[in-house]
Amino acid sequence: MTSIQDLSATATVDFSPGESLDTLMMEVQLKRANLLEGELRTQLQSVQDANGKMSALNSVSALMNQNTALFNTTDTSKGVDSLSAADQATFKANTAQIQAICEANGISTTYASNGDSLGVMNANITTLKSQVDATSNIQQTDLLRVQSLSSNYNSALTLASNFLKSMNDAKSGITSSMR
């Protein structure tokens, strides 16, 4: 018995002396389809993770924009201390939510202290926009990879199906010739 392993050593096709070439080719295509299915599942999980991160980034962005809107000014030197008591409470609540979302989703941001000025918050919003853009680019790349893997998976299944059909047709032809 001879064995061939692929480079990743995850699939082995065994060649037995009595097997036909069609059977071996079908087995190779089915193993290829199984490997592609595993890659596809991994890539889909990556897309779902990116979707979750994007959702978290959008939530943080909305809360950051709410906090900057509390200032009603363009003077970037204004700090939280210049806000009314009610606005300070809203600012603190939003900041706590931002921290919780960032910690839960592995988002790095320094946007969180009561001493922040409007200028610091605007800089953090710019940084957050960069994170959103980077996550969006990664997400698009992942979706292209999913599309490619899905196409390859369908191709492998089609080839395996064609091998089954040709084997069945060959056996049917032999059976009809024997009659």
128, 109 in Cβ contact below 8 A? yes
pLDDT at 110: 65
Any idea what DSSP says for residue 77?
Answer: T
Per domain, the residue ranges of the chain are 62-139
Rounded Cα distance, 90 and 86, in Å: 6
| pLDDT at residue number 167 | 81
pLDDT score for 165: 86
CA dihedral sign, ordered 127, 129, 132, 138: negative
What is the torsion angle, in degrees rounded to the nearest 10, for the CA atoms of residue 121, residue 123, residue 124 and residue 129?
130
Q: Encoding tokens for residue 23?
A: 């059977």
Distance between CA atoms of 23 and 103, rounded to whole angstroms?
53
Reported pTM: 0.68
10-residue averages of pLDDT along the chain (179 residues): 42 65 79 90 91 91 89 76 87 89 79 64 85 90 92 87 83 81
Asked if 121 and 61 touch (Cβ cutoff 8 Å), the reply is: no
Tokens of 8: 């990743």
What are phi and psi for residue 137, nearest 5 degrees? -65, -45
pLDDT of residue 150: 92
